[in-house]
Amino acid sequence: MLKVYLVQMGSLAGEKEKNFSKAREMVLEASPAPQSLVLLPEMFDTGYVPQLAKQLSQENARPDTPEFLQKLSDDTNCFVCGGGMRRQEAGVTNHVGIYAPGKTCETAGYDKNHLFFPELETFTAGREISLFKIRDFCVSTTICFDLRFPEQYRDATLQGAQLFTVHAAWPAKRKDHWEALLKARAIENQAYVAAVNCVSTDGLYTGDSRIIDPLGNVIVQADAGKEYVVSGEIDINSVNKCRSDFPLFRQ
């Protein structure tokens, strides 16, 4: 069994220290069980502000976000997934890093493959699928707009993925798409999907974070518009049984 914690939070634009403080307070208050998985929304450190990518990525050249996430992982003895803008040789990417207790840097990372329209002028798209191990699970990380591209999820599944994490800044006006696509990605890949979305005081983002099992059942769902941490347990045996009983991938 693996316990997964979804940190449904709002972030202040460009206010990294305040966002760090809020994320840390929320996680510590939730008292996650050791060796659990903690997920933060897309670009939790700066808020989802792609129009400020060039400016904020200069600040992100400092290792403050990785340092924060690694310390949070160490202090909670949990795996922590989160990130934001990251300046690399190819340009600025929308990045999520995976941090494990006792390490000195991220153990795996993912750059958003499918850029949303406002990101196209300032971000560089990633090219690789992310696959890494947490406990019994092979995990693949995705970010927000990736959710609309089923081929990425199928490619990851064929390479071994059993759990997908989705880190998002998904607007409330497309909530129906969010719910339908998350369920579809779980059913068609017979995998768990753990999706964390941000909230905002103006109602543009309402969270609706959730965990969905390999049969498409929502096993935990956060209240809309509320900042808090929700959690649920997932079982690798459920993935194995689903794929054994209904062998989609033997075609």
- pTM for the predicted model, two decimal places: 0.96
Q: Does residue 221 register a pLDDT over 60?
A: yes
Give the largest Cα separation in the chain, rounded: 51
pLDDT at 65: 93
pLDDT tens for each residue of 47-88: 998 877 666 656 555 569 999 999 999 999 999 999 998 888
Residue 27, domain extent: 2-250
Catalytic: which of 81, 138, 144, 242? 144
Contacts of 188 (CB under 8 A, 6+ apart): 150, 153, 154, 248
Q: Identify the CATH number of the domain in which residue 93 sits.
A: 3.60.110.10
Catalytic: which of 112, 119, 138, 242? 112
Contacts of 25 (CB under 8 A, 6+ apart): none
Domain count of the fold of the chain: 1
Taking the CA atoms of 105, 107, 113 and 114 in sequence, report the sign of the dihedral they define.
negative
pLDDT at 170: 98
What does the alpha-carbon distance between residue 183 and residue 235 come to, in Å, rounded to a whole number?
A: 18
What does the alpha-carbon distance between residue 185 and residue 169 come to, in Å, rounded to a whole number?
A: 18
Catalytic: which of 42, 78, 81, 119? 42
What number is the average pLDDT over the span 15-29?
Answer: 97
Is position 42 annotated as part of the catalytic site? yes
What does the alpha-carbon distance between residue 143 and residue 131 come to, in Å, rounded to a whole number?
A: 14
Is position 112 annotated as part of the catalytic site? yes
Query: H or E segment at 185?
Result: helix 175-189
